[in-house]
Structure 1
Amino acid sequence: MAATMNFFRAQDEARGRTTKLVVLLVLAILVLTGTLYVLAVFLTGYHTVPTRSAGVSSLIFDGAHRDWFQPKLFCLTTGLALAVILGGSLMRIAELSKGGGAIALRLGGRLVSGVTKDPAERRYLNVVQEMALAAGLPVPLCFVLDHDGSINAFAAGNSPQDAAVGVTRGALLNLTRDELQGVIAHEFSHIGNGDMKLNLRIIGAIAGLTALAQLGYIFFRLAGSVRGKNSAPIALGMILTGVVVLLIGSGGILFAKVIQAAVSREREYLADASAVQFTRNPLGLGSALKKIAGFSGARREASEAELEAQHLFFASSGGFLEALFSTHPPINERIRRIDPAFDGIIPDVQPVAVSADDASPVSRAAPVASAAPPLPVAASRAVPTDIQIQDSVGFRGRISETLRNASDDPVSAMGLVLGLLLRRDPALRAAQLSKARNLAGGEVAREAEKFEPLLRALPAGSRVPLLDLSMPALRQLSAEQQNLFRQAITQVGYEAEDGLIVLLIQASMRRYLSREKNPPSRPGDLAAAYALVLTAVVRTSGESAEAQARAYRLGAVVLGLPGLDANLLPAEKVDLQKVDEALAVIAGQSVYDRRKFVRACGAAMLHDDRAEPAEVEIVRAVGDSLGISFATGLGR
């Protein structure tokens, strides 16, 4: 595969081009506001003069009196245009910010139950769970577009904690497991690369420009309502203003849609490259694209909501002037980038029967290797690559069917989370359970007690994946229920003997149950926070003191932050309360800084070329608590 395509370089190039295109979109808005000012200045050259007819005035143009420097007019026109654009944008973004589930329902999606008996839907859920476990992401809500017989899929939401994925009925019926896995990996790449938030911003920009065009229609209506003496010049001025605003707004819509299409095309190339990197199976994604090309003649007419959200889908649904405004690259070009040997032949599409193995419960993450790849001998203790860290954190264990089934039910899922936090001491455990007795009439506490023996028996590395499997059920709780559960988790607390993993589980749940998309930045010494949390992570291993010191130093090299303590902190300085506070400081940093810290933890874990299940669980929990995915690398 490496000989045919450098997927990391493809991601870097696509990211760079996307940045340039977003800059062009901003420049387009500036050009539109500037054009409005220029035309306003031009119109000020017109003024009325009396004619020989009594009471009649004539509108003439006097270029000699035109003044291009009019600060008040500039502020008026530019301020009005920006107010309309920003107002329209913010209103549209607010409407779309309800989460991926709300967007999926608007597209006509049906939420797939975790206990569905449909073999194709069961296979779909299993593939999504595999992707989530391998990516270190909470499992998103899964939807099916039953009314759509074509092959397509989408991802929607504002962030990983409120994401949703959906597939069409045609995708379930016509894709093999490998092909479906490639499509789902593509959608997970959109989640991991932050494309969902970018899509919302682009939609908002277009909505703002549409609002500018609507302002032109408002001027037309106002012109028709003008009455009284000398109303003709006023009405004419409003009509001219309406024409100008309408033309600028319409031109802006055209310009923005072209840029939107170009941005979306680049993100599709990036998601394709990331999906192949993630699954290590370019044939699956390539074969799915070929089947979509074979379905090109069987498209139905898209609904208004689907046309508005075309850029969210795996493949374009076609339409007027598709070559210019399509939000996706030509499908043959996408296939060739994945499979340079593609000969242009598109096979016939036939329905695929779902076997019992395909619909079997998830047991391990298929996309990852069976063991962390060893570092080259000559590069011993060198910084591990992104791909080595990603391979090492994939879940390879098994979760019992009883716990999997429990994770599908909201009340039982709350019981599982609570059960993972319970202490071994009977008195302390009873005190913890008493703080959760008000949840679901005490049912959550009873579920936690029921599952406690199974949770105690979980092998190392299985607790965080179980949390990820529980996320779709937890997201079905009402806002009030989520808030009560979040408060209960906080009240349950943690003690030093609980270990770092319990603290990280609580931090992860607080983050994913929070209504705040981005935690507020907490003031604090970032270098000290890095040192403390990295030390806590390293000291959870069972290695010798010398090995832990080497692991810390390697992580510190990755961070490369001035003022960061170069040596492992003493064990007595690792207080869980202070670690929790330091984690909050890191959580308030940029995505880039959070990714860099998670990468440092992964590098420290692999300092000896090995990754034990307990170490993997800690690193995954750090990523979960900071909202960072392992799906598409950690370097950016």
Structure 2
Amino acid sequence: MNFFERQHEVRRASARLVWLFALAVVLIVAVVDVAVWLAFGLSRLPFSVAAQSLAIASAIVVVLIGVTSWIRTLLLRRGGGGKVAASLGGVAVPENTTDPNLRRLRNVVEEIAIASAMPVPELYVLPHEPGINAFAAGWTPGDAAVAVTQGALDRLNRDELQGVIAHEFSHIVNGDMRLNIRLIGVLAGIVGLAVVGRMMLGGGRGARRNNGGAPLVVVALAVLVIGYLGVLAGRLIKAAVSRQREYLADASAVQFTRQTAGLAGALKKIGGLQAGSSLRSAKAEDVSHMLFGEGRRLSAMFATHPPLARRIQLLDPAFDPAELDRLRTQWAAEPPAGLREDEALGLTSRQPAQIRQATTLPAHPGAVAATVGEPSAGSFAHAGGLLRDIPDAVQAKARHPGTVVPVVLGLLFSPRADVRAHQHRLLAARGGQTLADAAWQEGAALAQLDPALRLPLTEVAFPALRHRPPQELQALLAAITELTRADGHVGVFEYCLSTLLHRDLFEAMHRRPPWTTSRTTLRRSAPAVATVLAVLAAAGTADPRAAEAAFRAGLARALPGAALPFQPPPQGPVALDPVWPALDGLAGPEKAVLVEALATVAGHNGVLTVEESELLRTVCALLHCPLPPLAGTVSSDARSV
């Protein structure tokens, strides 16, 4: 099952959730109507009066469930994934933390974010939870949060922590987070009936003492019983929706991290330690379907995760469940310590920087489309290498709230002295002399940075930008736009940086894309398809004939038989701004075809330049088709081999 098929499956699961919710509401309304009929003796009243009474009772129940679910979902959506983490006692991990455990966690998350072409999520630790667990929450990748327990930090070595985080990133990439938030909201309405029933029961008892309110007590008992039946139904729904997705997330985590030992080791520690994966928080039930491991000990019928031994055996076929008994005995005397294991396994040393060499795309463009949402072992290793190649001092500034803005702006300063001076004047007029001077200094320091490291550095900087006040973010985005257009020409890197930051920060603030999409097809969107193929073809080579040949090859794959002219827009990548609403509205299979066409264009001359790599990944990101980093890109001036 590839990325596009998984996306379709998530939509089907969302549809099933709606139908299950509707069925539960109908059954609840029916039972409440029966209770009202019996309690108030409606059979003795005229039919019109009885029918009106039942309609009122039904409407009250439907409105109560619907409004409760809507409000709960809205609050979770507005708060983003961080609100879910904070509700369980989560504490935010500072971007510039120096704590060894937290620094290790953030490094792992940044590596996997770059490998999976996703924004770096917010990070939280549940400091009072000794069990090994984690979850990802959020409405969009831009407002996602990943939370891990203190037990996971303390007990897991780096490989095991990578496996757990990769598992959670699978939920982010595949769209499970939004489904999980919807599930919390839907179940809140059903479960809320139990609270209403208790309140009614208390009022009904008072009425019975004063005025014979026995019918109200009967209805209250019925609502209370239905509410608790709703709790059981909710657990069944969660179990039905989440179990299979946990198997998929385990499989994706193995693909992320190159090996099964890390994820299997984390699961073995859950089984071998007394705390297991249990959570102490009273709200653990709300997020049970989102967790890496079971948050509560439940019967097989209500379990939201597959059996632990079965998950381990799928990763390690030689595993004997009896091994968990031995581990329990061993770790009862001396529990494992993740950082000590890292030292013993040699996982703490910094690897040397890698050398990026020219490479070719896979021979078949479909192989590129198949990597969407499917980072491979090479993607993960390449992402780690990119981070290691960025100097520590530069990374520290990009992670610090006080210096991140000058770093991002400094990336946009031109190598031409006249343009750079103009940019400095523009920035001083907009943001003040202090900001302009700081950005100038950062720009000078970043001038020697390998071009292939510029966008990864921006991804590292994103978390420190995310929580700045909205007015500051608007001012930053305006400054970025002004700097990119200071010389009257917007280059590929400038466009990619500014567009990705606009999209990610907009989604972080508003929990939706910055454009409205509607369902469309490649044929209906032919002009937009031609524009994006032409811009990519022009970015890959300075030879007009070679660019047109690449364009024709890509067009033949996206729109066979179409006779569209090759017309590279004179404004360059800026011409792509109007195409995103149309192309983002394509169905999954047609997006896959478009990605194949883009790969055909990029790989036509046999070499992937930095510009082509950045533009290809940016186009895919804006279409919500995360394309992992393409290893081996060459410098911006390498046009052919």
The alpha-carbon distance between structure 1 residues 300 and 520, as it changes in their structure 2 partners (threshold 3 A), is: closer
Pairing partner for 1:83 from 63, 79, 101: 63
Post-superposition offset of 1:136: 1.4
- Is the CA contact 1:504–1:625 (under 8 Å) kept in the aligned structure 2? no
Pairing partner for 1:521 from 503, 511, 516: 516
The question of 1:137 aligning with 2:121 is answered no
| Aligned amino acid, residue 61 of structure 2 | A
Q: Deviations over 1:109-160 (max 9, x none)?
A: 3333344333333322222121112111222223333333332222222222
**1:540 match: secondary structure:** helix
Aligned twin of 1:533: 532
**1:317 match: secondary structure:** coil
**What pairs up with 1:72-471 in 2 under 5 angstroms?**
76-97=56-77, 98-221=79-202, 223=204, 232=212, 235-296=213-274, 302-319=280-297, 321-344=298-321, 345-346=323-324, 347=327, 348=330, 350-352=336-338, 353=340, 354-355=342-343, 358-359=347-348, 375=362, 384-387=368-371, 390=375, 394-395=382-383, 396-397=385-386, 398-437=389-428, 442-471=433-462
Q: Deviations over 1:74-98 (max 9, x none)?
A: 7544443332222111221233231
CA distance in 2, matches of 1:260, 1:104: 19
- Is the CA contact 2:122–2:463 (under 8 Å) kept in the aligned structure 1? yes
- Is the CA contact 2:361–2:603 (under 8 Å) kept in the aligned structure 1? no
- Is the CA contact 1:101–1:164 (under 8 Å) kept in the aligned structure 2? yes
Aligned twin of 2:489: 497
The question of 1:614 aligning with 2:598 is answered no
Post-superposition offset of 1:186: 0.8
**1:150 match: secondary structure:** coil
Aligned twin of 2:464: 473
Structure (1 or 2) with the greater helix fraction: 2
Post-superposition offset of 1:468: 0.5
CA distance in 2, matches of 1:12, 1:289: 28
Post-superposition offset of 1:471: 1.0
| Aligned amino acid, residue 520 of structure 1 | W
**2:183 match: secondary structure:** helix
Post-superposition offset of 1:410: 2.0
| Aligned amino acid, residue 511 of structure 2 | K
CA distance in 2, matches of 1:183, 1:121: 15
- Is the CA contact 2:239–2:305 (under 8 Å) kept in the aligned structure 1? yes
CA distance in 2, matches of 1:594, 1:445: 41
CA distance in 2, matches of 1:438, 1:96: 39
CA distance in 1, matches of 2:158, 2:229: 45
Post-superposition offset of 1:405: 1.4
Q: Deviations over 1:26-74 (max 9, x none)?
A: 33333333334544665676698xxxxxxxxxx58569x879995x667
**1:324 match: secondary structure:** coil
CA distance in 2, matches of 1:342, 1:555: 48
| Aligned amino acid, residue 317 of structure 1 | G
Post-superposition offset of 1:475: 1.8
Q: Deviations over 1:507-545 (max 9, x none)?
A: 111112222222231689733222212221222112755
The alpha-carbon distance between structure 1 residues 574 and 422, as it changes in their structure 2 partners (threshold 3 A), is: same
Give the unaligned 5+ runs of structure 2. 631-641
CA distance in 1, matches of 2:307, 2:396: 42
CA distance in 1, matches of 2:367, 2:262: 31
**1:304 match: secondary structure:** coil
CA distance in 2, matches of 1:167, 1:44: 47
**1:497 match: secondary structure:** coil
TM-score by length of 2: 0.81
Post-superposition offset of 1:340: 2.9
For this pair of structures, how many residues does the alignment match? 602
| Aligned amino acid, residue 316 of structure 2 | D
| Aligned amino acid, residue 258 of structure 1 | L
**1:28 match: secondary structure:** helix
User: After alignment, is 584-593 or 349-358 more displaced?
Assistant: 584-593
**1:117 match: secondary structure:** coil
CA distance in 1, matches of 2:161, 2:100: 14
CA distance in 1, matches of 2:612, 2:5: 33
Post-superposition offset of 1:197: 1.1
| Aligned amino acid, residue 332 of structure 1 | A
User: After alignment, is 428-437 or 321-330 more displaced?
Assistant: 428-437
- Is the CA contact 2:136–2:172 (under 8 Å) kept in the aligned structure 1? yes
- Is the CA contact 2:294–2:303 (under 8 Å) kept in the aligned structure 1? yes
**1:154 match: secondary structure:** strand
Post-superposition offset of 1:241: 3.0
**1:315 match: secondary structure:** coil
The alpha-carbon distance between structure 1 residues 85 and 439, as it changes in their structure 2 partners (threshold 3 A), is: farther
Pairing partner for 2:627 from 622, 625, 630: 630
**1:137 match: secondary structure:** coil
CA distance in 2, matches of 1:632, 1:42: 60
**What pairs up with 1:544-555 in 2 under 5 angstroms?**
544-545=543-544, 547-555=546-554
The alpha-carbon distance between structure 1 residues 40 and 475, as it changes in their structure 2 partners (threshold 3 A), is: closer
CA distance in 2, matches of 1:245, 1:458: 65
Post-superposition offset of 1:199: 0.9
The alpha-carbon distance between structure 1 residues 543 and 151, as it changes in their structure 2 partners (threshold 3 A), is: farther
Post-superposition offset of 1:420: 2.2
CA distance in 1, matches of 2:429, 2:474: 13
CA distance in 2, matches of 1:281, 1:480: 44
CA distance in 1, matches of 2:511, 2:123: 20
CA distance in 2, matches of 1:142, 1:47: 52
**1:513 match: secondary structure:** helix
Q: Deviations over 1:249-307 (max 9, x none)?
A: 33222112211122122221111111122223222212222222212555666111334
User: After alignment, is 594-603 or 111-120 more displaced?
Assistant: 594-603
Give the unaligned 5+ runs of structure 1. 1-7, 49-58
The question of 1:510 aligning with 2:495 is answered no
| Aligned amino acid, residue 309 of structure 1 | V
Aligned twin of 1:3: none
- Is the CA contact 1:152–1:167 (under 8 Å) kept in the aligned structure 2? yes
- Aligned-residue Cα RMSD (Å) equals 4.0
- Is the CA contact 2:517–2:581 (under 8 Å) kept in the aligned structure 1? yes
CA distance in 1, matches of 2:42, 2:119: 67
- Is the CA contact 2:66–2:189 (under 8 Å) kept in the aligned structure 1? yes
The alpha-carbon distance between structure 1 residues 390 and 559, as it changes in their structure 2 partners (threshold 3 A), is: farther
| Aligned amino acid, residue 218 of structure 2 | L
CA distance in 2, matches of 1:185, 1:449: 37
TM-score by length of 1: 0.81
| Aligned amino acid, residue 371 of structure 2 | I
Post-superposition offset of 1:386: 1.2
User: After alignment, is 118-127 or 607-616 more displaced?
Assistant: 607-616
Aligned twin of 1:30: 22
Post-superposition offset of 1:629: 2.4
| Aligned amino acid, residue 317 of structure 2 | P
